[in-house]
């Protein structure tokens, strides 16, 4: 999307052990895992010549809204020279105009719509339920569910075991929720989910509750809950997800993701889960 605005983009290099180690070395121990990894991303981008950093500011209720300030502080303490730009849906147009003053607001909006359409096409072709065969749903923290470098490519691995993966966490839903354009979607499940909590939770806590209710009602065969270490909303909803899945008799596998993960252990667990679900369905 940024490239379509004529900007020179230094995308983060693929996440490696080095990226993760860099982030961990300079983050508070109990900070959530996505913060550490994105800090490592920034360091590697600066090393590649980036001098303007963009971090999404959710303006929500969780730590994500503070990431950019903390990243900025830590990177400056490390002696890096750069400019940090928090990006939110509120300042999106203004920021793009600031980066490329030659663009009119109309052009920016047109290009944003094109990017939105591309995003929807990619998501719609990647996530759907099948009638014949086994469907496994994924819920959890957005970065962990969407970044293969962090979730050890769980989507691809599960598909190798001959199951269909329905990832309920979609970037477009996140954008729609932030712009309040999805208030009517899954309304009945949202109402039920709200009864389990005493108000807003932040992150994707509430979204995951209603998505699990949605999956269970759609007859999903099994659910995987993916969460990063020390994620507040995801750990808060753990007992609620357990109860919903037990009530619907849907098997649930919870996978914590952090820097100590062993890929072999991870693979064994998802393979066992997939096989168990397949046998159960038969
Ligand atoms: S949702 Fe979880 S991982 Fe994301 S900022 Fe909040 S605590 Fe951290």
Q: How confident is the model at residue 200, as a pLDDT?
A: 87
pLDDT reported for residue 230: 87
Mutate to test the pocket of ligand 1, among 59, 64, 66, 209 (most ligand atoms within 8 A of CB): 64
Q: Which atom of ligand 1 is nearest to the CA of 234?
A: 2
Is there an atom of ligand 1 within 6 Å of 233 CB? yes
Choosing from 55, 141, 201 the residue with most ligand 1 atoms within 8 A of its CB, the one to mutate for a pocket test is 141
Mutation test residue for ligand 1: of 32, 200, 227, 258, the one with most atoms within 8 Å of CB: 32
Going by C-alpha positions, the residue among 255, 268, 261, 254 that lies closest to residue 161 is 268
- At 112, the pLDDT band (50, 70, 90 cuts) reads very high
Question: Measured in angstroms, how far is the CA atom of residue 32 from the centroid of ligand 1?
Answer: 6
What confidence category does residue 175 fall into, taking pLDDT thresholds of 50, 70 and 90?
A: confident
Alpha-carbon distance 63 to 238, whole Å? 19
Under 8 Å between Cβ of 108 and 94: no
Ligand 1 centroid to residue 213 C-alpha, Å? 22
pLDDT of 101:
96
For the entire predicted model, the pTM comes to 0.93
pLDDT of residue 184 exceeding 90, the answer is: no
**68: CA distance to ligand 1 center in Å?**
13
Structure tokens at 10: 């230094």
Rounded percentage of the chain residues whose pLDDT exceeds 90: 84
Which residue has the least CA distance to atom 3 on ligand 1?
A: 231
What does the pLDDT read at residue 127? 82
Tell me how far CA of residue 164 lies from CA of 130, 160, 224, 256, in angstroms: 7, 9, 12, 21
pLDDT tens per residue across span 115-169: 999 999 999 888 889 999 999 999 999 999 999 999 999 999 999 999 999 999 9
Say yes or no to pLDDT of 229 above 90. no
Question: Does the C-beta of 37 come closer than 6 Å to ligand 1?
Answer: no
The rounded Å distance from CA 135 to ligand 1 centre is: 27
pLDDT of residue 265: 93
pLDDT for the residue numbered 177: 83
Mean pLDDT of the chain: 94
C-beta of 205 in contact with ligand 1 (< 6 A): no
Residue 206's closest CA among 223, 191, 228, 217? 191
**Does ligand 1 have an atom closer than 6 angstroms to the CB of 64?**
yes
182 pLDDT band (50/70/90 cuts)?
A: confident
150 CB less than 6 Å from ligand 1?
no
The answer, yes or no, to whether any atom of ligand 1 lies below 6 A from the CB of 34, is: yes
Residue owning the nearest CA to atom 7 of ligand 1: 231
SS (H, E, C) the chain: CCHHHCCCCCCCCCCCHHHHHHHHHCCCCCCCHHHHHHHHHHHHHHHCCCCEEEEECCCCCCHHHHHHHHHHHHHHHCCCCCEEEEECCCCHHHHHHHHCCCCCHHHHHHHHHHHHHHHHHHHHHHCCCCCCCCEEEEEECHHHHHCCCCCCCHHHHHHHCCCEEEECCCHHHHHHHHCCCCCCCCHHHHHHHHCCCCCCCCCCHHHHHHHHHHHHHCCCCEEEEEEECCCHHHHHHHHHHHHHHHHHCCCEEEEEECCCCCHHHHHHHHHHHHHHHHHHHC
Between the CA of residue 47 and those of 39, 51, 84, 133, 149, what are the distances in Å? 13, 9, 15, 46, 20
- For residue 64, the ligand 1 atom closest to its alpha carbon is 5
Atom of ligand 1 nearest to the CA of 58: 5
């Amino acid at each position: 999307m940024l490239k379509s605005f004529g900007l020179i983009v230094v995308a983060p290099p693929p996440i490696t052990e080095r990226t993760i180690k860099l982030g961990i070395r300079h983050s508070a121990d109990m900070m959530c895992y996505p913060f550490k990894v994105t800090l490592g991303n920034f360091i590697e981008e600066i090393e590649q010549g980036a001098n303007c950093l963009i971090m999404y500011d959710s303006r929500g209720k969780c730590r994500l809204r503070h990431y950019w300030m903390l990243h900025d502080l830590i990177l400056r303490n490390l002696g890096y020279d750069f400019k940090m730009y928090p990006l939110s849906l509120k300042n999106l147009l203004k920021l793009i105009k600031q980066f490329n003053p030659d663009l009119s607001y109309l052009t920016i909006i047109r290009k944003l719509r094109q990017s939105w359409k591309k995003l929807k096409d990619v998501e719609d072709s990647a996530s759907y339920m099948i009638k014949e065969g086994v469907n496994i749903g994924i819920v959890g923290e957005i970065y962990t569910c969407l970044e293969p470098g962090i979730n050890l490519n769980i989507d691809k691995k599960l598909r190798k075991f001959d199951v269909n993966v329905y990832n309920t966490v979609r970037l477009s839903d996140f954008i729609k929720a932030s712009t309040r354009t999805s208030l009517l979607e899954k309304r009945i499940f949202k109402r039920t989910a709200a009864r389990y909590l005493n108000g807003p939770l932040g992150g994707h806590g509430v979204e995951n509750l209603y998505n699990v209710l949605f999956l269970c009602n759609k007859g999903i065969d099994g659910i995987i809950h993916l969460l990063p270490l020390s994620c507040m909303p995801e750990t808060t909803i753990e007992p609620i997800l357990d109860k919903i899945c037990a009530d619907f008799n849907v098997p649930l596998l919870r996978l914590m993701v952090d820097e100590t993960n062993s890929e072999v252990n991870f693979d064994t667990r998802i393979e066992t889960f997939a096989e168990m679900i397949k046998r159960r369905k038969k």
